Amino acid sequence: MPAPAPPTRSDRIFVTVNRVLSLLVLLGLLAGAAVIAYLFWSNGPDERPGVVKVEDQTMETGKAVALSFQEAEQINMADTEMIRLTIDAGDGKYSGRNFQTRNVLFVSTMDKPARWLFKDHKNVVSVVEQLQESAQSRKDLPTLALYVEFSAHQPGSNVKHKDSQLAVGFSRPDGSGFTPVLKDVARVLSHRVVDGRRVSVLFQRDTAIWQASISLADFTVVSERQIEKLPSAI
């Protein structure tokens, strides 16, 4: 049987070209997948406070979510516990977790009816904190009030955009008397109890830093001032 003819120079060139083309196609597919993954990730919600991204106008109608209660938290030196009502957002991008708190249920003794913090479950509650005279949480000090940060939920998106910025409110330790106090807040920088009678809140609104003093007696703004704006140039 005669030996096969050795490959010619044109055969070798043809094989080399085919291999190069196959490699280029593979690299193109990998690059395309990387671009799609990057676009998907970059268009997701931005978790940094005070940063606005373009809202996705796609409405996710009829999307199923898992609704559940979380563990109860005892209100210090009171016969009340608060229980967060949460949904599983399913994308893991809101506040670095799958869960969104949509409301808070307050349960007291057997002879008192339970109450919700909000009338409906449409708000996204990012912070519910017991306020005490001490900056450190202590079980031997009573809770003066509840400090709440929340925003309106946007269908199909978890982004806090310009039309859905944070609001700050307060309620009594048992969840009654909830009062929204500060609106159009980009982010809260700090909040602290002063003299056991008022709360000082530093927050950003648009590009300016503001300071507000809120009375714990009736949850009214005692004073509010603009401190400084972001520089227009550096």
Higher pLDDT, 1 or 42: 1
- pLDDT above 50: residue 109: yes
- pLDDT above 70: residue 3: no
Mean residue pLDDT of the chain comes to 81
pLDDT digits (tens, 9 = 90+) for 36-81: 765 555 455 445 444 333 232 333 555 677 889 999 999 999 999 9
Q: Which amino acid is at 63?
A: K
Higher pLDDT, 165 or 228: 228
> Comparing 95-109, 150-164, 198-212, 220-234, which segment has the lowest mean pLDDT?
150-164
- pLDDT above 70: residue 180: yes
Residues in CB range of 218: below 8 A, 6 or more apart: none
What percent of the chain clears pLDDT 90, i.e. is strictly above it? Answer: 52
> Comparing 21-35, 84-98, 205-219, which segment has the lowest mean pLDDT?
84-98
Q: How far apart are CA 193 and CA 131, in angstroms?
A: 7
Q: How far apart are CA 175 and CA 6, in angstroms?
A: 89
Which pLDDT score, from 0 to 100, does residue 56 have?
29
> Comparing 92-96, 128-132, 226-230, which segment has the lowest mean pLDDT?
92-96
Q: How far apart are CA 184 and CA 206, in angstroms?
A: 8
Q: What angle do CA 90, 147, 173 make, to 5 degrees?
A: 110
